[in-house]
Chain A
């Protein structure tokens, strides 16, 4: 099921489908994110925003505003 990265739950592992951020998608791509990249939601800040994801072994923080432009599917378990 396609959803945005801002909607996933803690500990969920997802696969990136597409990145549609108006001006930061290039930055995310430069940081190694692309369709097919595996992401794990590791932490949420106390008010649920920002979130910290694990990507290629690094911990990356994102605001929900940024995460909602990243479309992902759940990894079938």
Chain B
């Protein structure tokens, strides 16, 4: 049976969905629209049911993009997602407001089950609901009490699903014309007011006098967490802890994964017969997969914290205190989570923008997110800083190198906000942003909800970003492994004739040949081809090659420089590469990596959109290639101009 889940925001709908489907859930899209559809399956006995979670709404009439799907589906019985049965989740202690949506669905003649959720809180607040009396007002609709967060009442729900049978000839709750035309706001207003009036008339006989006491615990916490000083202070502390975890602790499992894949490819390349397949597998596919899986620890940790903040109710307070700060930039308080996620990786950051209901604010957030310096830039920054910034101290105690690193992060943030300001002027939108939002009471997080959320995010990342990173890695491998046949072999011959080669040890010889091959490959040729374009920035063709290969992922820059400069030293790769780079000379004898070139490269990496996986995710989230392409061009121009100016000033 096709079952739908409806309810107001914050009624525990997601908990209910997780309770019923567990991990048997998937995220897709409603047909023809850009709205995320969470669906899953569950069984009652042997009977299998398909459950779809709809966005939380107060009525069937939409006020934001994602709410539109509700009215589209429920008013159209031929819609492929039109439910055979709907579970309406209401907050038992706030019956009046929650029943509005229920009466509308009731009048649409959809068979219903009403779940009075969070029954424990209602009982604690002394609310008594005469369920048989309420049922008699809506014949054919079973009504049950539940506490979905702790799984209480699941059997009652299953029984209700099996018994819900609505006769088609029932007296509608609302006597007027229904549903109101979707564009007639006045008719909708009248209808809603009439429904409320009727509810206010009947509910007092069903529930005892409603005591509307917000828990004093929540109020006390709010007094601190929304405080004009402590509010920001605590949020900063929370951010600090999160980033500490992401940067300090995620690196261990990341290193293990990286190491595992290096070991695996080394072993396989020895174990398998030599040939194209061996090289493709061990130099293209495996490093590609490793590059994807490497980011899982960070993404899991990050979404663990975000889910924790969301589950506990704190996240809506962060949105509340940050909204005014973000608004001048065309952003929303809700943009804060995506932007802070992007400091780890823009991919989950962009995925987290789904909570922003306003399209324009969401789009601006998506476009600026990759300008936040992500963790893939760290190896590049570290290498370049060590290379061109002297190890001196400002005022005797502030490390100049650290200062430069901080400046690079700040540059990304400032550029992101400036870009947001500009985009705000250019992006037109029919809805205006708003922040009418219910802030739920604080509650203990449910670990199962958090785990499901993390699993879902990782699944999306591995499949969506993974496909692209893998494909690009293979393409880059092909371009680096092959070239016009005479070009590659002549380069190899030339290397073999040098006196340095003849003196070298076997492993050194191998890397020198690899380097020569790369120079003669398609990528090497392209690097030389683009040299005139990048030489105003202070780059030579070798840097050009690294820039091109960075398009799979930024951190590839370091690896490909190592290959080009034929660095062969497994243990001290970074140190060794640095010496090689420092010794590199231009034809006129000046060092390649001067301060100007290094700084120009750093600025380039702050701005440039060198991450195919991010582009793919933006495409997925915005449902067209338009925005990722615009993003690529804008950031490309920023990178080029920024690097050009930097190089110009420093020479």
Asked whether A and B interact, the reply is yes
Q: Name A's B-contacting residues (CB within 8 A).
A: 23-32, 34, 42-43, 45-50, 52, 54, 56-63, 65-66
Per-residue CB proximity of B287-324 to A under 8 Å, as 1/0?
Answer: 00000000000000000000000000000100111011
Chain B residues with CB below 8 A from A29, complex form = 189, 192-193, 196
For the complex, give the distance between the alpha carbons of A45 and B318 in Å. 10
B324 touches A45 (CB 8 A): yes
Cross-chain contact B439 with A25 (CB below 8 angstroms): no
Residues from chain B with Cβ under 8 Å of A30 in the complex: 58-59, 61, 100, 192
Q: Report whether B434 and A24 are in contact in the complex, using a CB–CB cutoff of 8 Å.
A: yes
Which residue from chain A places its CB closest to the CB of B186 in the assembled complex? Answer: A26
Other-chain contact of A42, B188, B222, B441 (Cβ < 8 Å): B222
Contact of B434 among A45, A57, A58, A66 (CB under 8 A): A66
Pick the contact of A46: B59, B218, B321 (CB < 8 A). B321
A61 touches B435 (CB 8 A): yes
Task: Check if A61 sits within 8 Å of B320, measured CB to CB.
Answer: yes
In residues 223-280 of chain B, which contact A (Cβ within 8 Å)? 223, 226-229, 231-232
A47 to B227 Cα, complex, angstroms:
11
B353 within 8 A of A: no
Which residues of B lie under 8 Å from residue A32 when comparing CB positions?
Answer: 96-97, 196
Most-contacted residue by chain B among A25, A26, A31 (CB, 10 A)? A26
CB atoms of A60 and B97 under 8 A apart: no
Task: Determine if B201 is an interface residue (Cβ-Cβ < 8 Å).
Answer: no
Beyond the given pairs A24-B436, A26-B192, A34-B196, 18 more chain A to chain B contacts, judged by CB atoms under 8 angstroms and listed by A's residue number, are A26-B63, A26-B189, A30-B58, A31-B436, A31-B438, A43-B226, A46-B232, A47-B325, A50-B323, A54-B214, A57-B210, A59-B438, A59-B440, A60-B436, A60-B438, A61-B323, A63-B323, A63-B327
A-B contact count (CB 8 A): 112
CB contacts (< 8 Å) of A42 on chain B: these are: 219, 222
| Contacts A29-B192, A30-B59, A43-B222 given; does A60 touch B321 at CB 8 Å | no
B residues near A, CB below 8 A?
58-59, 61, 63, 93-94, 96-97, 100, 185, 188-189, 192-193, 196, 210, 212-214, 218-219, 222-223, 226-229, 231-232, 316, 319-321, 323-325, 327, 333, 432, 434-441
Contact of A56 among B96, B229, B327 (CB under 8 A): B96
Q: Which residues of A contact B320 (CB under 8 A)?
A: 43, 45, 50, 52, 61
13 examples of A-B residue contacts, CB within 8 angstroms:
A26-B185, A26-B189, A27-B436, A31-B438, A43-B223, A46-B229, A46-B232, A56-B212, A59-B218, A59-B441, A61-B320, A61-B437, A63-B323
For B213, give its contact among A25, A57, A60 (CB under 8 Å).
A57
Contact between B438 and A45 (Cβ–Cβ < 8 Å)? no
Q: Is A62 touching B193 in the complex (CB atoms < 8 A)?
A: no
Residues of B contacting A: mostly: helix
Q: Are B439 and A46 within 8 A (Cβ)?
A: no
- Complex formed: what's the CA distance from A45 to B440 in Å? 16
Q: Cβ of B97 and Cβ of A56 under 8 Å apart?
A: yes
**A46/B324 contact (C-beta < 8 A), A57-B93, A57-B212 known:** yes
CB-CB < 8 A to A62: which residues of B? 435-436
Which residues from B are CB-within-8-Å of A45? 226, 320-321, 323-324
- Asked whether, in the complex, the Cβ of A57 is within 8 Å of the Cβ of B58, the reply is no
With beta carbons under 8 angstroms apart, the residue of B189, B432, B437 that contacts A25 is B189
A-chain residues with CB within 8 Å of residue B325 when the two chains form the complex: 47
Docked complex Cα distance between A42 and B384 (Å): 51
Of listed B212, B223, B435, residue having the most chain A CB within 10 A: B435
